[in-house]
Amino acid sequence: MTTYHYVLASQKFLLEEEPIQEVLNERLRNYRDHNKEIDFWLIKHPAFLQAKNLNQIKSQAPTNSVAIVSTNEQFIIWLKLRLEYVLVGKFETPLEGIEDPLASLET
């Protein structure tokens, strides 16, 4: 079982109003400099929200949602403190009825 932690917000907030691209680029640069494996993903319309046990989060999620998901809980806590207006949570895989929880449902 893998535990994933996430921040969830509207695409407008996270991708347009916040400089999230800079934050993620800096983190990628740091990981490369330290030969560290990438442990975070940015997912538009995340598939994991379709899991039955995440119905409560799905009901609170914006229609056009985007998530930053990571196996590193501290990174997600840091993002929550930095971004403020995001939902946070976690889930463990496998998720019932979800083949790939890191998939995007964007068409």
Task: Please give the domain boundaries of the chain with CATH numbers for all domains.
Answer: 2-93 (3.30.70.1860)
Question: Is this model's pTM higher than 0.75 or not?
Answer: yes
- The number of beta carbons lying within 10 Å of the beta carbon of residue 99 is 8
CB-CB contact of 90 with 6 (8 Å): yes
In which band, very low, low, confident or very high, does the pLDDT at 15 lie, cut at 50, 70 and 90? very high
Distances (CA, A) of 90 to 27, 42, 46, 75, 80: 21, 15, 13, 13, 13
In which band, very low, low, confident or very high, does the pLDDT at 49 lie, cut at 50, 70 and 90? very high
% pLDDT > 90, the chain: 76
As given in the structure block, the two tokens for residue 18 are 């916040």
Q: Is the pLDDT higher at 32 or at 1?
A: 32
